[in-house]
Amino acid sequence: MPSAFHEVSFPLSVALGAAGGPERRTEIVVLASGREVRNARWADSRRRYDAGSGVASLDDLAAVIAFFEERRGRLHGFRFRDRADFKSCAPSATPARTDQPIGTGDGVTRTFELAKTYGAAFAPYRRRIAKPVAGSVLVAVNGAARSATVDAAAGTVTFAPADTPAAGAAVTAGFLFDVPVRFDTDALTVNLSGFLAGDIPHIPLIEVLP
């Protein structure tokens, strides 16, 4: 069976109790002088999570096992809600159509990829958002609200020919989003002896980069 991505979400009640975040790969060489030479091995960060701490009941346990079996362990990817980072804006704010720059019009291009920028002028990091939440995406051109067709499975917005952004126009968007992940194990160890509700001590998940 070939791998695929399933457009379904990991059980939200369990995801809300997960721990994890971005990971980078940096190579560090210490010279004879004691100085360091550092080199980024990855251009993009990759997120890792452990959802084991989110299992709080037998129902949670059953939901995770069923989800794991349907994904065939590590074979198929799925959506995961990162409770610390799932908006185009600050966690306490409501997404607005001017939150994130996603491109500049050239009078021809109609399709733009959603993205979220981290940091400011010194060394901002632009992260592609491949899994926006359907119905949450708001788009603007030069700050004015515009309509566009959203592909929630690919993370793109496409303007109608008549609405093609003019050359130099700032295209922005606001949205909610999920992280595309897969299980990072083919075996779940279930322990019912320690907790009445059940416990899965380790449910490793890793981001699937677009």
Annotate 91-129 with b (16+ C-beta within 10 A) or e (fewer).
eeeebebbbbebbebeeeeeebbbbbeeeeeeeeeebeb
User: Which pTM was predicted?
Assistant: 0.92
Neighbouring residues of 96: CB distance < 8 A, sequence distance ≥ 6: 88, 89, 138, 174
For the residues 118-133, what does the mean pLDDT come to? Answer: 95
Check residue 116 and give its pLDDT.
98
Residue 120's alpha-carbon distances to 103, 124, 165, in angstroms, are 17, 5, 25
pLDDT band (50, 70, 90) for residue 191: confident
Q: Please give the full DSSP string across 31-56, using - where no structure is assigned.
A: -TTS-EEEEES-SS-EEEEE-GGG--
pLDDT band (50, 70, 90) for residue 63: very high
Do residues 1 and 71 make contact, with C-beta atoms less than 8 angstroms apart?
no
Closest CA to 132 of 111, 109, 115, 117: 115
Residue with the bigger pLDDT between 74 and 58: it is 74
Closest CA to 187 of 174, 201, 177: 201
pLDDT band (50, 70, 90) for residue 109: very high
Q: How far apart are the first and last CA of the chain?
A: 21
**What are 129-162's pLDDT values in tens digits?**
999 999 999 999 999 999 999 999 999 999 999 9
Do residues 102 and 150 make contact, with C-beta atoms less than 8 angstroms apart?
no
Check residue 202 and give its pLDDT.
87
pLDDT band (50, 70, 90) for residue 196: low
Q: Does the pLDDT value for residue 60 go beyond 90?
A: no
Check residue 58 and give its pLDDT.
80
Check residue 194 and give its pLDDT.
56
Run of H or E including 21: strand 19-23
